[in-house]
């Protein structure tokens, strides 16, 4: 396999795996291709499974985040995939490769971050494995959730005319990564803190995912991990549709706007392609849109934003001041990014 950065694509590798499998077990409802695998328990209930690995110098860099933040983030990003299916977390497993030089206090803080996140979202540690890694710390988390088989939010559930909603503004995490790595001048301490936090201590939108499923508001969602456009494209591919985003409707947080002003970065670009936001992106039939906005406000005290529409033709379009133009899905492709310059993500 050609693993030069130019030729090696995470998505290409996954597609190859996907072609090689033929699920035969009657419990396997959904394999590769959604935020979680789905195992059928009954006509109503199902188990949701997801896993994610983080490696030092590829996904994070020791010294740029606290061990507490590393633990929190490692679990939070997995819980976010349960949120994207509309499920509830149940339990998690931790496989960890520890380098011999890590002090005890580091491990204590790492555990504290993991358990703080587990308590916050209600998931029990039920197993795992601990080994010695020679060079780089790595953590692999597996989270198990449960959901209502008939009301799952799937990447393949979007339909023409659906309203595309965003659960909270995106782009803050990408700006936070710049703050962590480069410490750009001209930012207030408060803005720095909020952007760092968005990047290092992301909050999965589990309550939102559950509301969307339980109230039957949506049938299609994804959590924004690779970037808004890239993740929207994953929905489009699985649903065999296209999407149009209204640039002026894409929400930009106050810290992101402050960051853009101070650094000259393009806030909209960061919001559309930044990645690692773990906001939910979801599609709602137009007749449910008003109820969706109202229930999110009343029950969760959040303002979900309408940013575009699902179209019949496959492709992505941005509507700006110059009209409608096609746009390529851009975002983070983990393999290419990791191999290119060992640029840390977290």
Chain residues binding Mg ion by CB under 5 A are: 35, 81, 223
The helix (H) or strand (E) run that includes residue 233 is: helix 228-239
- Helical ranges in 45-171 per DSSP H: 67-85, 104-121
Angle at 151 between CA 147 and CA 156, to 5 degrees: 105
Q: Is 44 exposed, middle or buried (0-12, 13-18, 19+ CB in 10 A)?
A: exposed
Residue whose CB is less far from Mg ion, 50 or 162: 50
Count other C-beta atoms under 10 Å from residue 314's C-beta: 13
Q: Which of 132, 156, 300, 279 is nearest to 218 (CA)?
A: 156
Beta bridge partners of 147: 46
Residues 259 and 255: their CA atoms lie apart, in Å, by 6
* CA–CA distance, 248 with 166 (Å, rounded to integer): 13
Q: Is residue 335 within 8 Å of residue 231, measured between CB atoms?
A: no
- By the 8 A CB rule, do 52 and 345 touch? no
Cα distances (angstroms) measured from residue 302 to each of 39, 128, 197, 211: 31, 35, 19, 12
User: What number of residues does the chain have?
Assistant: 346
Contact status, residue 225 vs residue 274, Cβ threshold 8 Å: no
Backbone angles phi, psi at 157, to 5 degrees: -95, 5
The answer to whether residues 336 and 52 touch, using CB atoms and an 8 Å cutoff, is no
Beta bridge partners of 46: 40, 147
């Amino acid at each position: 396999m050609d693993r030069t950065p130019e030729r090696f694509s995470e998505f290409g590798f996954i597609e190859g795996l996907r072609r090689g499998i033929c699920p035969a077990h009657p419990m396997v409802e959904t394999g590769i291709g959604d935020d979680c695998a789905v195992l059928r328990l009954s006509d109503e209930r199902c188990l949701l499974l997801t896993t994610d690995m983080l490696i030092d110098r590829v996904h994070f860099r020791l010294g740029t985040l606290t061990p507490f933040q590393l633990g929190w983030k490692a679990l939070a990003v997995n819980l976010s995939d349960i949120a994207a299916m509309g499920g509830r977390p149940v339990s998690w497993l931790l496989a960890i490769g520890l380098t011999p030089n890590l002090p005890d206090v580091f491990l204590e803080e790492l555990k504290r971050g993991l358990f703080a996140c587990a308590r916050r979202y209600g998931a029990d540690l039920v197993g795992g494995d601990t080994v010695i890694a020679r060079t780089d710390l790595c953590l692999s988390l597996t989270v198990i959730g449960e959901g209502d088989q008939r009301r799952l939010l799937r990447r393949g559930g979007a339909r023409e005319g659906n309203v595309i909603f965003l659960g909270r503004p995106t782009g803050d995490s990408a700006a936070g990564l710049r703050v962590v790595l480069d410490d750009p001048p001209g930012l207030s301490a408060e803005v720095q803190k909020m952007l760092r936090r968005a990047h290092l201590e992301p909050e999965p939108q589990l309550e939102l995912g559950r509301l969307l499923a339980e109230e039957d508001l949506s049938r299609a969602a994804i959590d924004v991990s690779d970037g808004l456009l890239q993740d929207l494209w994953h929905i489009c591919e699985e649903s065999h549709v296209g999407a149009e985003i209204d640039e002026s409707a894409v929400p930009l947080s106050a810290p992101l706007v402050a960051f853009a002003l101070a650094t000259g970065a393009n806030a909209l670009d960061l919001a559309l392609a930044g990645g690692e936001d773990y906001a939910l992106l979801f599609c709602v039939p137009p007749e449910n849109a008003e109820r969706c906005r109202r229930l999110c406000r009343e029950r969760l005290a959040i303002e979900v934003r309408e940013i575009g529409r699902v179209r019949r033709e496959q492709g992505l379009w941005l509507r700006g001041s110059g009209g409608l133009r096609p746009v390529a899905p851009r975002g983070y492709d983990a393999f290419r990014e990791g191999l290119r310059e060992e640029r840390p993500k977290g």
